[in-house]
Amino acid sequence: MGATQKTGALGESFAAEYYKSKDYEIVARNYHSRYGEIDVIAENDFYVVFCEVKTRSVKAIERPASSVGRAKIKKLTLTAMKYLSENDRDKQPRFDVFELWQSGGEIVKFELIEGAFQGEDFSGSYDVF
């Protein structure tokens, strides 16, 4: 496993544990479809959350979420729609972006952006902040 993969796995594990600590059940990690991948899918009594996890070094210039652009949002949305078509859920879908900063293999800061974007918004601009 390369350094980038290790960093990504570290962030995804941290995000999954965070959701668990907030009484979410982790129903899938690294869910794949032909459209792309969703890092973490979590559920509570109200939401099914599709979470994109972005981990960067504390020395990074841009925020981790800045890499979630229009093309990535479309892939996440299509993958979430595939998941929902295969798994009957009556909960509100929500798209989160989990930003993490690491140093020396340790998470030193994080921010969860709940409802970072609307999945059905395929036109216009996309803003994750």
Please write the tens of the pLDDT for every residue from 49-94. Answer: 999 999 999 999 999 999 999 899 999 999 999 999 999 888 999 9
What mean pLDDT do residues 9-34 have?
96
pLDDT at 119 over 80: no
Structural domain boundaries in the chain: 3-117
Residues 39, 29 contacting (CB under 8 angstroms): yes
Residue 116's CB is within 10 A of a number of other CB atoms, namely 22
Residue at 92: amino acid letter: Q
Residues 74, 118 contacting (CB under 8 angstroms): no
pLDDT at 2 over 60: no
| Span between the terminal Cα atoms of the chain, in Å | 31
Residue 75's CB is within 10 A of a number of other CB atoms, namely 16
The per-residue pLDDT for 41 is 98
The per-residue pLDDT for 36 is 95
Fold topology of 3-117:
Trna Endonuclease; Chain: A, domain 1 (3.40.1350)
